[in-house]
Amino acid sequence: MIRVQQENFDIGAEIERLRDNRTDIGAIVSFTGTVRDTAQGAPITEMTLEHYPGMTEKELERIEAEANERWPLQESLIIHRYGPMKPGENIVLVVTASPHRQAAFEAAEFLMDFLKTNAPFWKKEDGPEGGDWVDARESDDDALKRWETPEKAAE
Amino acid sequence: MSVKLLYFAWVREKTGLGEETVDLPGDVKTITDLIDWLKARGPEFVSAFEQSDVIRTAIDQTHVPHDAAIANAREIAFFPPVTGG
């Protein structure tokens, strides 16, 4: 399941809802991305996330479907927020559940790596010196490469 | 051809527009053609598309490269590399 929302989320409540008292799940992995209070040493007072309504949901659904094709997941969840946020607040939650831990760990990393390079979100950091759009990182593109399948790498 | 154009993040700030609907001449066939056509419209578009190789594009909400054909597109978006997560 995917959700794009302005309001904060409760990590514990989301995981409990996903488990739904099932007894066949053996591993649940969760990742939470949060707002840092500094960027390259400069203080951040607020972060605003812009997104592309419609395409955001399509991309997240595509990424989730791909993870479910690659790993035997029993459940998966992506929640991504947009709008203004303060340091310390949640930005994104990824949860994966599988019978054994390896699939859940790998799928959670895959979901985050794909989301960071494909989902249409843009961060603007505000501090005492004014606002700045965050630059994309080359390390995020590199992180994506390790998931390339032999067919895709040959393209 | 009438098509909706959307601009996000600093591309939106530089063009001064979130979205608009434009009528494109027939010789605008690819994203690259469209960027050239937009740059001829005024200094704000020249500034927004100055480093056009950095700008990412989507046709009907799917990522596409700049050489993609825009025939039958309903919605074309321009934006910087994404920075969510």
Q: Kindly state whether residue A20 falls inside one of the protein's structural domains.
A: yes
**Which pLDDT does position A130 carry in this prediction?**
86
Side chain identity, residue A154: A
Looking at chain B, the number of H-run helices and the number of E-run strands are 3, 5
Confidence of residue B1 (pLDDT cuts 50, 70, 90): confident
Decide if A155 is inside a domain. Answer: no
**Is residue A154 situated within a structural domain?**
no
- Does residue A93 belong to any structural domain of this protein? yes
Identify the H or E element spanning A95: strand A90-98
Half-sphere exposure of A74 (CA within 13 A, CB side): 17
Give the ipTM of the model, two decimals please: 0.95
Interchain contact, A136 vs B80, CB within 8 Å: yes
Q: Output the domain CATH number for residue A61.
A: 3.90.1170.40
Q: How many Å lie between the alpha carbon of A118 and the closest alpha carbon of chain B? A: 7
**Chain centroid to CA A21:** 25
> Phi and psi at residue A124, in whole multiples of 5°?
-120, 125
Q: What pLDDT was estimated at residue A115?
A: 97
Residue in chain B nearest A62 by alpha carbon: B62
Distance from CA of A24 to the nearest CA of B (A): 30
A153 domain-assigned? no
A104 lies in some domain: yes
Q: What is the mean pLDDT of residues A29-55?
A: 96
Q: Is the pLDDT of residue A43 over 90?
A: yes
Give chain A positions within 8 Å (CB) of B77.
Answer: 52, 55, 120
Judge whether A74 lies within some domain.
yes
Q: How many CB atoms lie within 10 A of CB B53?
A: 6
Phi, psi of B9 (to 5 degrees): 55, -130
pLDDT tier, A111 (very low <50, low <70, confident <90, very high otherwise): very high
Nearest to B79 by CA among A118, A76, A73: A118
Task: Tally the domains of chain A.
Answer: 1
User: Which domain covers residue A82, as residue numbers?
Assistant: 2-148
Domains of chain B: 2-79 (3.10.20.30)
Chain A: give the shortest CA distance to residue B74, in Å. Answer: 13
